Amino acid sequence: MTTVGPGPAPVTTPVEQTDWVAALSIPGPLQERALVELHALLLRAARRQVQRMGLRATHVAEELANQAADEALMTLLGKLHTFEGRSRFTTWAYKFAVLQAATAVRTLAWQDREIHLDGLDLVPDGRPGPGHYAEAVDLAQALRAAVDTELTSHQRRIVIALLVDEVPIDVLAQRLGTNRNALYKALHDARKRLRAHLRETGFLDDQAGKP
């Protein structure tokens, strides 16, 4: 009688590209392994992005990278159903960590910086310097007037913070207690108002800003 021995040991190779979505979607040992591997990938990506943005390898940098990897993993799992397979899954996942790490570094850089959201001038007063042309000065003055008169106070503070002071949008969203989409919408509406006013006053032609 032939005795059948134990089968081959289970293979523990990394999750294949085409299996990622399925592996992450079905509870069980494969999902647990996929989560561990995916978090490791996101952590490597976050570390590289943190270093790329000039933060030296310190305890703070490592903490930021780990936090970014954790948040990127949660965001990715919430959007798993949107993966369309147009690129490698790992390439798609990598972007989540890069974005989250960049946000974390920018937030750290701005956490102690004061952001003035009221009473700012878009274009400073004063006579034009030698290198300025009269047309440019007129346009700048018209733009300043449009910002003061055509925009709401909310739109004005967003335009100045994002376009003049170059405050990172995620930092501004945090300071104002809102989100990136709401700021993008407000900025889009403000730009439409400014373009319309400048066209009406003859500083832009009718085709300016049109596709």
pLDDT in tens, 176-204: 888 888 988 988 998 888 888 788 877 66
Residue at 145 is within a domain: yes
Distance CA 172, CA 157 (A): 10
Statement to judge: residues 150 and 169 lie in one domain? yes
pLDDT-wise least confident of 40-49, 70-79, 82-91, 158-167: 158-167
Cβ-count burial of 143 within 10 angstroms (0-12 exposed, 13-18 middle, 19+ buried)? middle
Q: What CATH code is carried by the domain that includes residue 61?
A: 1.10.1740
pLDDT over 60 at 70, yes or no? yes
The reply to whether 73 and 139 lie within a common domain is no
Of the residues 110, 136, 163, the one at which a domain ends: 110
Q: Would you state the pLDDT for residue 37? A: 92
Give yes or no for residue 44 having a pLDDT over 90: yes
Asked if residue 188 and residue 127 are part of one domain, the reply reads yes
Query: Looking at the whole model, is its pTM more than 0.75?
Result: no
Same structural domain for residues 101 and 128? no
> Residue 3 domain-assigned?
no
The per-residue pLDDT for 40 is 93
pLDDT, position 111: 67
Do 99 and 132 have their domain in common? no
User: What CATH number is associated with residue 193?
Assistant: 1.10.10.10
- Residue 134 pLDDT exceeds 50: yes
Instruction: Assess whether 94 and 124 both reside in one domain.
Output: no
Assess contact for 19 and 29: CB atoms under 8 A: no
For residues 72 and 153, state if they share a domain. no
User: Average per-residue pLDDT in the chain?
Assistant: 76
Q: Is residue 67 part of a domain?
A: yes
Check pLDDT > 80 for residue 114.
Answer: no
User: Of 66, 83, 110, at which residue does a domain stop?
Assistant: 110
Q: How far is CA 76 from CA 95, 164, 175, 181, in A?
A: 10, 33, 25, 18
For residue 6, pLDDT beyond 60: no
Q: Are residues 140 and 209 located together in one domain of the fold?
A: yes
Q: Confidence band (pLDDT; 50, 70, 90) for 116?
A: low
Residue 106 lies in a domain: yes
Radius of gyration of the chain (CA): 25
Do 80 and 132 have their domain in common? no
Please return the burial class of 209, using the count of CB atoms within 10 Å of its CB with bins 0-12, 13-18 and 19+.
middle
| Residue 147, domain extent | 113-211
| pLDDT per residue as tens digits for the range 138-171 | 667 777 777 888 888 888 888 888 877 777 888 8
121 and 211 fall within a common domain: yes
In total, how many domains does the chain have?
A: 2
